[in-house]
Amino acid sequence: MTAQRLPGSTAARHGSGDADLTIMTAAHYALRRDLLALALSADGAGQHSPDKQRSVAAGWELLKRQLHLHHAAEDDLIWPALRERLGHSATALSVLDDMEAEHQRIDPLLAAVDAGFASAAGPAGRQADAGRLAGAVDALAAALAGHLAHEERDGLPLIGVALTAAEWRRVGFKIARRNGLSAGGEMFSWLLSSVAPGQVRAVTEQLPPPARVLYKAVWKPRFEKTSRW
């Protein structure tokens, strides 16, 4: 497969309100970053050394975990809050229906990439197996990149329309409680693993002071012990 710059990676629109979507847009950036890493890693996967295979597997498993957390937070907490507030708008409800449907279409594409990696890791290392993985990665990249662009264009602005900054922060607290400290630490370390210092500050400023200390002293060092991609 040809690794290329994924579409839709321009900055997200934040809608008309004052809800701060820094963490949401940082998650989208990280998902695109890992999609590109996945595309690069899929090239010649059957010929990777054992160490490289373990590194790619660690990156892929992390991407799947973060995508699951992101989509579950949207489906279970964010979209329902918007539906409650925007139930009078057929257009808004249609957008939210699209968001949920796109999530459902992505799940089997993840399974197809899993199957592609399993085939590419086989002893034969046949061209057909490499092609299966490349096709699966292409399909996932196209679907997920398209979904992220659609969400940024039509979905995220609904947050600014429907929720105040305080209401949006309360949604964030619910997500944090649901994820727990360990998963939350991994998520923030993943978000910030390859961004500029200014972007790190923008995201960590969203955290309470104790969590900022944990990020620097515990979460980030622990995350960096594992080689990925």
Kindly report the average pLDDT of the chain as a whole number: 89
Over residues 32-80, the pLDDT tens digits come to 999 999 999 988 776 778 899 999 999 999 999 999 999 999 999 999 9
Using an 8 Å Cβ cutoff, are 23 and 203 in contact?
A: yes
Whole-model pTM: value is 0.88
Query: Which of 60-64, 123-127, 218-222 has the weakest average pLDDT?
Result: 123-127
Angle at 39 between CA 229 and CA 186, to 5 degrees: 40
pLDDT band for position 130 (cuts 50, 70, 90): low
Question: Nearest Cα to 199, choosing from 30, 15, 17?
Answer: 30
Percent of the residues in the chain that have a pLDDT greater than 70, as a whole number: 88
